[in-house]
Amino acid sequence: MIQIAPSLLAADFGCLAEEINKIELAGAHLHHVDVMDGMFVPNISFGPVVIEAIAQAAKKPLDIHLMIEKPERYLADYLKFKPKYLTVHFEATTELANVVATIREAGSGVGLSIKPDTPVAAIIPWLDKIDLLLVMSVEPGFGGQKFQPQAIEKISEAKAYIEEHDLQVKIEVDGGIDAITSPQVIAAGAEILVAGSAIYSQSSYAIAIEKIIG
């Protein structure tokens, strides 16, 4: 089953609890939560204080995407929300084995993300240790960017390896996902689709979700 994880970055923060309620009624499976530190990416979003409010309003699970340098410094601050997935960037840490162990011990799914210029080959040794591979289809840092089609090839490559080795890793894709790009990433093997602007910019979230995941 294909799952949709609308990115709260594109929601109206003036009425966050209402947005969360609306997107859940519209069919969201997960809430994608983008944490940006102004170091790993050239933008700052929000951190645990805002996620506390999100977690209180949400009935659906959280899918936290950490775009922060040295995420090992802050894992506990996000694991306390018991996210379904806590995802770190491969490029952001030299402590990946410890990061994976800490997330797993806390009971959340382990997510690992790669930027557009990072090849799938770089994370192959980690695929049997994680639950989620997040393939970025834009440079991380901002919502509303154009989908980079080379992500399709990367998803296919990762999917082929996962199937060949009978692994349980799900592939998530994030950036520029809409009704045009979603069939391409689904065909390549993505199972969780993140979409921000393509959903939250629309008057009907349910219709927007329906157009993306059918």
Ligand X SMILES: O=C(CO)[C@@H](O)[C@H](O)COP(=O)(O)O
Task: Write out the catalytic residue numbers.
Answer: 34, 174
3 strand-pairing partners:
192
Residues 10-39 that bind Fe ion (CB under 5 A): 34
- Within 127-186, the residues that bind ligand X by CB under 6 A are 138, 140-145, 174-177
Q: How far is the CB of 198 from ligand X (least distance, A)?
A: 6
The piece of 77-85, 87-95, 159-167, 174-182 that touches Fe ion (CB under 5 A) is 174-182
**What would the two tokens of residue 211 be?**
């157009």
Give me the 53-92 binding string for ligand X, x by CB under 6 A, dash otherwise: ------------x-x-------------------------
| Binding at 183: pick from ligand X, Fe ion, none (beta carbon under 5-8 Å per type) | none
Contact yes or no for 137/176 (Cβ under 8 A): yes
Q: Is 8 or 97 the residue whose CB approaches Fe ion more closely? A: 8
Closest distance of CB 6 from ligand X, Å: 8
Binding residues, as ranges, are: 7, 32, 34, 65, 141-144, 174-176, 196-197
Residues 6+ apart with CB under 8 A from 178: 147, 195, 198, 211, 212
The CB-based long-range contact list for 69-72 (8 Å cut-off, 24+ gap) reads: 69/37, 69/39, 69/40, 70/95, 71/99, 72/98, 72/99, 72/102
Q: How many residues bind ligand X (CB under 6 A)?
A: 23
What is the C-alpha to C-alpha distance for residues 92 and 96, in angstroms, rounded to an integer? 9
How far apart, in whole angstroms, are the C-alpha atoms of residue 80 and residue 121? Answer: 32
Q: What is the bridge-based pairing of β-strands 31-36 and 109-114?
A: unpaired
Positions that interact with ligand X (CB under 6 A): 7, 9-10, 32, 34, 65, 67, 138, 140-145, 174-177, 194-198
